[in-house]
A and B are shown apart, each in its own frame.
Chain A
Amino acid sequence: MNESRKSKVESRKQFDFTTVGKRTPYRVPEGYMEQQKDRLKESVSNQVPAVRPLRRAWYYGIAAAVVLLLAVYPVMQLISPLTETPVYSIYDDDSYDWADFADADIFLDEFE
Protein backbone atom coordinates (compact mmCIF):
# COMPACT_ATOMS: atom_id res chain seq x y z
CA MET A 1 0.00 0.00 0.00
CA ASN A 2 1.55 3.30 -1.02
CA GLU A 3 1.97 6.18 1.45
CA SER A 4 -0.88 8.47 0.31
CA ARG A 5 -3.39 5.63 0.21
CA LYS A 6 -2.30 4.53 3.66
CA SER A 7 -2.84 8.01 5.09
CA LYS A 8 -6.28 8.19 3.42
CA VAL A 9 -7.31 4.92 5.07
CA GLU A 10 -5.96 6.15 8.39
CA SER A 11 -7.82 9.45 8.12
CA ARG A 12 -11.05 7.53 7.56
CA LYS A 13 -10.40 5.45 10.66
CA GLN A 14 -13.16 5.95 13.20
CA PHE A 15 -13.04 5.76 16.95
CA ASP A 16 -15.03 2.80 18.23
CA PHE A 17 -17.65 4.46 20.42
CA THR A 18 -18.72 1.13 21.89
CA THR A 19 -15.46 0.97 23.87
CA VAL A 20 -16.77 3.83 26.01
CA GLY A 21 -20.52 3.45 25.47
CA LYS A 22 -22.54 5.73 27.69
CA ARG A 23 -20.03 5.86 30.52
CA THR A 24 -19.17 9.35 31.69
CA PRO A 25 -16.75 10.56 34.37
CA TYR A 26 -19.54 12.47 36.15
CA ARG A 27 -20.46 11.28 39.64
CA VAL A 28 -22.97 12.38 42.29
CA PRO A 29 -22.87 12.10 46.09
CA GLU A 30 -24.40 8.91 47.47
CA GLY A 31 -28.20 9.01 47.77
CA TYR A 32 -28.27 12.30 45.91
CA MET A 33 -30.97 11.39 43.39
CA GLU A 34 -33.58 10.51 46.02
CA GLN A 35 -32.85 13.61 48.11
CA GLN A 36 -32.85 15.78 45.01
CA LYS A 37 -36.32 14.57 44.02
CA ASP A 38 -37.76 15.63 47.39
CA ARG A 39 -35.90 18.94 47.32
CA LEU A 40 -37.28 19.70 43.88
CA LYS A 41 -40.85 18.95 44.95
CA GLU A 42 -40.43 21.22 47.94
CA SER A 43 -38.97 24.10 45.96
CA VAL A 44 -41.71 23.84 43.35
CA SER A 45 -44.48 23.78 45.97
CA ASN A 46 -43.42 27.29 47.07
CA GLN A 47 -43.99 28.67 43.59
CA VAL A 48 -47.39 29.87 42.48
CA PRO A 49 -47.92 29.66 38.73
CA ALA A 50 -48.22 33.18 37.35
CA VAL A 51 -51.56 34.03 35.76
CA ARG A 52 -51.07 36.10 32.64
CA PRO A 53 -52.56 39.66 32.85
CA LEU A 54 -54.89 39.08 29.89
CA ARG A 55 -56.24 35.90 31.40
CA ARG A 56 -56.63 37.64 34.77
CA ALA A 57 -58.67 40.39 33.05
CA TRP A 58 -60.92 37.72 31.56
CA TYR A 59 -61.46 36.15 34.97
CA TYR A 60 -62.39 39.54 36.46
CA GLY A 61 -64.71 40.26 33.54
CA ILE A 62 -66.50 36.93 33.87
CA ALA A 63 -66.81 37.33 37.65
CA ALA A 64 -68.25 40.86 37.26
CA ALA A 65 -70.76 39.62 34.67
CA VAL A 66 -71.93 36.80 36.95
CA VAL A 67 -72.36 39.16 39.92
CA LEU A 68 -74.25 41.65 37.75
CA LEU A 69 -76.52 38.92 36.42
CA LEU A 70 -77.27 37.64 39.92
CA ALA A 71 -78.12 41.15 41.09
CA VAL A 72 -80.23 42.11 38.10
CA TYR A 73 -82.16 38.86 37.60
CA PRO A 74 -84.51 39.14 40.63
CA VAL A 75 -85.30 42.73 39.68
CA MET A 76 -86.06 41.68 36.11
CA GLN A 77 -88.36 38.96 37.41
CA LEU A 78 -90.37 41.58 39.33
CA ILE A 79 -90.57 43.99 36.43
CA SER A 80 -91.23 41.59 33.56
CA PRO A 81 -94.92 40.70 34.30
CA LEU A 82 -95.86 44.41 34.12
CA THR A 83 -94.02 45.21 30.92
CA GLU A 84 -94.60 42.12 28.85
CA THR A 85 -97.82 41.85 26.86
CA PRO A 86 -99.41 38.42 27.32
CA VAL A 87 -100.34 36.66 24.13
CA TYR A 88 -104.02 36.35 25.08
CA SER A 89 -104.34 40.12 25.46
CA ILE A 90 -103.83 40.76 21.75
CA TYR A 91 -107.22 41.20 20.14
CA ASP A 92 -108.01 39.71 16.80
CA ASP A 93 -108.39 43.20 15.31
CA ASP A 94 -104.84 44.01 16.29
CA SER A 95 -103.67 40.92 14.46
CA TYR A 96 -105.22 42.26 11.28
CA ASP A 97 -103.51 45.59 11.79
CA TRP A 98 -100.12 43.89 12.02
CA ALA A 99 -100.56 41.82 8.94
CA ASP A 100 -99.45 43.44 5.74
CA PHE A 101 -100.82 42.99 2.26
CA ALA A 102 -98.66 39.94 1.50
CA ASP A 103 -100.19 38.03 4.41
CA ALA A 104 -103.71 38.42 3.09
CA ASP A 105 -103.82 34.87 1.71
CA ILE A 106 -103.41 33.39 5.15
CA PHE A 107 -106.59 35.05 6.38
CA LEU A 108 -108.45 34.12 3.23
CA ASP A 109 -107.47 30.49 3.77
CA GLU A 110 -108.71 30.65 7.32
CA PHE A 111 -112.13 32.05 6.30
CA GLU A 112 -112.54 29.31 3.74
Chain B
Amino acid sequence: MILRLRHTTTEQLIERYHEPLYWHIRRMVVSHDDAQDVLQNTFIQVHLHLSELKDKNQERSWIYRIATNEALQWLRSKHEFLSLDDTDSDDDESNASLIHTLMADEYVDTGDRLVLLMQEAILTLPTMQRTVFNLRYYDELPYEEIAAVTGSSVGAAKTNYHFAKEKISNYILERQ
Protein backbone atom coordinates (compact mmCIF):
# COMPACT_ATOMS: atom_id res chain seq x y z
CA MET B 1 0.00 0.00 0.00
CA ILE B 2 2.82 2.39 0.97
CA LEU B 3 4.73 1.47 -2.19
CA ARG B 4 1.63 2.04 -4.26
CA LEU B 5 1.04 5.48 -2.77
CA ARG B 6 4.68 6.40 -3.30
CA HIS B 7 4.57 5.19 -6.89
CA THR B 8 1.50 7.31 -7.58
CA THR B 9 3.28 10.36 -6.22
CA THR B 10 6.32 9.77 -8.39
CA GLU B 11 4.00 9.52 -11.37
CA GLN B 12 2.48 12.84 -10.45
CA LEU B 13 5.94 14.38 -10.26
CA ILE B 14 6.79 12.93 -13.68
CA GLU B 15 3.61 14.47 -15.10
CA ARG B 16 4.43 17.84 -13.56
CA TYR B 17 8.17 18.09 -14.06
CA HIS B 18 9.32 15.82 -16.88
CA GLU B 19 9.28 18.56 -19.49
CA PRO B 20 10.80 21.50 -17.57
CA LEU B 21 13.40 19.15 -16.09
CA TYR B 22 14.29 17.76 -19.48
CA TRP B 23 15.00 21.29 -20.75
CA HIS B 24 16.91 22.24 -17.61
CA ILE B 25 19.11 19.15 -17.96
CA ARG B 26 19.44 19.62 -21.72
CA ARG B 27 20.74 23.16 -21.24
CA MET B 28 23.33 21.77 -18.85
CA VAL B 29 24.52 18.65 -20.71
CA VAL B 30 23.66 19.92 -24.24
CA SER B 31 23.35 16.51 -25.93
CA HIS B 32 19.85 15.10 -26.37
CA ASP B 33 20.95 11.51 -25.66
CA ASP B 34 22.75 12.55 -22.49
CA ALA B 35 19.76 14.60 -21.34
CA GLN B 36 17.51 11.54 -21.70
CA ASP B 37 19.80 9.42 -19.53
CA VAL B 38 20.24 12.12 -16.90
CA LEU B 39 16.49 12.71 -16.75
CA GLN B 40 15.87 9.01 -16.17
CA ASN B 41 18.50 8.92 -13.41
CA THR B 42 16.90 12.00 -11.88
CA PHE B 43 13.46 10.43 -11.62
CA ILE B 44 14.87 7.19 -10.26
CA GLN B 45 16.58 9.21 -7.52
CA VAL B 46 13.35 11.13 -6.93
CA HIS B 47 11.45 7.86 -6.59
CA LEU B 48 14.00 6.28 -4.26
CA HIS B 49 14.25 9.31 -1.98
CA LEU B 50 10.69 10.58 -2.09
CA SER B 51 10.23 9.90 1.62
CA GLU B 52 12.88 12.57 2.30
CA LEU B 53 10.67 15.27 0.81
CA LYS B 54 8.90 16.53 3.92
CA ASP B 55 7.73 19.97 2.86
CA LYS B 56 5.50 20.19 -0.21
CA ASN B 57 6.50 23.85 -0.65
CA GLN B 58 10.08 22.75 -1.33
CA GLU B 59 9.06 20.20 -3.95
CA ARG B 60 10.30 22.18 -6.96
CA SER B 61 13.65 23.22 -5.51
CA TRP B 62 14.16 19.64 -4.20
CA ILE B 63 13.53 18.07 -7.59
CA TYR B 64 15.61 20.69 -9.43
CA ARG B 65 18.43 20.13 -6.99
CA ILE B 66 18.43 16.41 -7.76
CA ALA B 67 18.34 17.11 -11.50
CA THR B 68 21.18 19.65 -11.23
CA ASN B 69 23.32 17.25 -9.19
CA GLU B 70 22.65 14.41 -11.61
CA ALA B 71 23.59 16.61 -14.57
CA LEU B 72 26.81 17.75 -12.87
CA GLN B 73 27.65 14.18 -11.94
CA TRP B 74 27.12 13.17 -15.55
CA LEU B 75 29.39 15.95 -16.79
CA ARG B 76 31.95 15.07 -14.12
CA SER B 77 31.97 11.45 -15.24
CA LYS B 78 32.71 12.66 -18.75
CA HIS B 79 35.34 15.22 -17.86
CA GLU B 80 36.60 13.84 -14.51
CA PHE B 81 36.18 17.22 -12.82
CA LEU B 82 33.51 19.86 -12.51
CA SER B 83 31.31 20.87 -9.64
CA LEU B 84 29.52 24.08 -8.74
CA ASP B 85 32.69 25.16 -6.88
CA ASP B 86 35.19 24.35 -9.62
CA THR B 87 37.82 26.80 -10.77
CA ASP B 88 37.63 28.72 -14.02
CA SER B 89 40.35 26.61 -15.65
CA ASP B 90 38.45 23.38 -14.94
CA ASP B 91 35.37 25.03 -16.38
CA ASP B 92 37.20 26.19 -19.50
CA GLU B 93 38.07 22.65 -20.57
CA SER B 94 34.58 21.38 -19.89
CA ASN B 95 32.97 24.37 -21.61
CA ALA B 96 35.00 23.85 -24.78
CA SER B 97 33.72 20.29 -24.88
CA LEU B 98 30.11 21.44 -24.37
CA ILE B 99 30.40 23.99 -27.18
CA HIS B 100 31.74 21.23 -29.41
CA THR B 101 28.71 19.10 -28.49
CA LEU B 102 26.42 22.05 -29.26
CA MET B 103 27.77 22.24 -32.80
CA ALA B 104 27.77 18.48 -33.34
CA ASP B 105 24.50 17.30 -31.75
CA GLU B 106 21.89 15.95 -34.13
CA TYR B 107 19.07 17.76 -32.36
CA VAL B 108 20.47 21.29 -32.41
CA ASP B 109 19.08 23.82 -34.85
CA THR B 110 21.95 25.89 -36.19
CA GLY B 111 19.68 28.01 -38.38
CA ASP B 112 19.32 31.06 -36.12
CA ARG B 113 22.78 32.51 -35.55
CA LEU B 114 21.84 34.83 -32.68
CA VAL B 115 20.07 32.06 -30.75
CA LEU B 116 23.06 29.81 -31.25
CA LEU B 117 25.46 32.57 -30.22
CA MET B 118 23.57 33.17 -27.00
CA GLN B 119 23.67 29.48 -26.14
CA GLU B 120 27.38 29.42 -26.93
CA ALA B 121 27.86 32.41 -24.61
CA ILE B 122 25.99 30.60 -21.82
CA LEU B 123 28.25 27.57 -22.27
CA THR B 124 31.37 29.69 -21.73
CA LEU B 125 30.24 30.63 -18.22
CA PRO B 126 31.62 28.97 -15.07
CA THR B 127 29.35 26.13 -13.93
CA MET B 128 27.74 28.00 -11.02
CA GLN B 129 26.97 31.09 -13.10
CA ARG B 130 25.60 28.98 -15.95
CA THR B 131 23.36 27.01 -13.57
CA VAL B 132 22.05 30.15 -11.87
CA PHE B 133 21.48 31.92 -15.19
CA ASN B 134 19.55 28.99 -16.65
CA LEU B 135 17.39 28.59 -13.55
CA ARG B 136 16.54 32.28 -13.47
CA TYR B 137 16.30 33.19 -17.15
CA TYR B 138 14.62 30.08 -18.57
CA ASP B 139 12.91 28.44 -15.59
CA GLU B 140 12.09 31.75 -13.84
CA LEU B 141 12.79 30.34 -10.41
CA PRO B 142 12.84 32.88 -7.58
CA TYR B 143 16.29 33.59 -6.11
CA GLU B 144 15.32 31.82 -2.87
CA GLU B 145 14.70 28.60 -4.78
CA ILE B 146 17.85 29.03 -6.88
CA ALA B 147 19.81 29.37 -3.64
CA ALA B 148 18.22 26.16 -2.38
CA VAL B 149 19.00 24.33 -5.64
CA THR B 150 22.62 25.44 -5.80
CA GLY B 151 23.25 25.30 -2.06
CA SER B 152 24.25 28.96 -1.89
CA SER B 153 22.78 32.17 -0.49
CA VAL B 154 20.20 34.44 -2.12
CA GLY B 155 22.84 37.17 -2.39
CA ALA B 156 25.27 34.84 -4.15
CA ALA B 157 22.54 33.74 -6.57
CA LYS B 158 21.76 37.38 -7.45
CA THR B 159 25.44 38.19 -7.92
CA ASN B 160 26.00 35.13 -10.10
CA TYR B 161 23.01 36.01 -12.26
CA HIS B 162 24.20 39.59 -12.66
CA PHE B 163 27.74 38.52 -13.69
CA ALA B 164 26.38 35.82 -16.01
CA LYS B 165 24.15 38.30 -17.83
CA GLU B 166 27.01 40.76 -18.16
CA LYS B 167 29.35 38.12 -19.61
CA ILE B 168 26.74 36.79 -22.05
CA SER B 169 26.00 40.32 -23.19
CA ASN B 170 29.69 41.09 -23.76
CA TYR B 171 30.27 37.77 -25.55
CA ILE B 172 27.45 38.40 -28.01
CA LEU B 173 28.29 42.07 -28.59
CA GLU B 174 31.92 41.19 -29.36
CA ARG B 175 30.85 38.69 -32.02
CA GLN B 176 27.85 40.37 -33.59
Contacts and interface: CB of A to CB of B under 8 A. Distances in A.
B108 A49 contact: no
A22 interface: yes
Interface string A45-74: 101111000000000000000000000000
A5 interface: no
Interface of B is mostly: helix
B60 to A, nearest CB: 17
Interface residues of A, number: 27
Bin the interface of chain B by size.
Answer: 35 or more
B98 to A, nearest CB: 12
B40 to A, nearest CB: 6
Tell me the dominant secondary structure on chain A's binding face.
Answer: loop
Interface stretch (A27-35, A78-86, A88-96, A102-110): A27-35
A39 B48 CA distance: 17
B107 A29 contact: yes
B57 interface: no
The CB with the most chain B CB atoms within 10 A, among A29, A36, A44, is that of A44
Interface string A7-41: 00000011101011011111111000100110111
Interface of B: 3, 6-7, 10-11, 14-15, 18-19, 22-23, 26-27, 30, 32, 36, 39-40, 43-44, 47-51, 102, 107-112, 114-116, 118-119, 137-138, 165, 168-170, 172-173
Given A26-B109, A40-B39, A49-B50, 4 more contacts: A15-B170, A25-B119, A33-B19, A44-B47
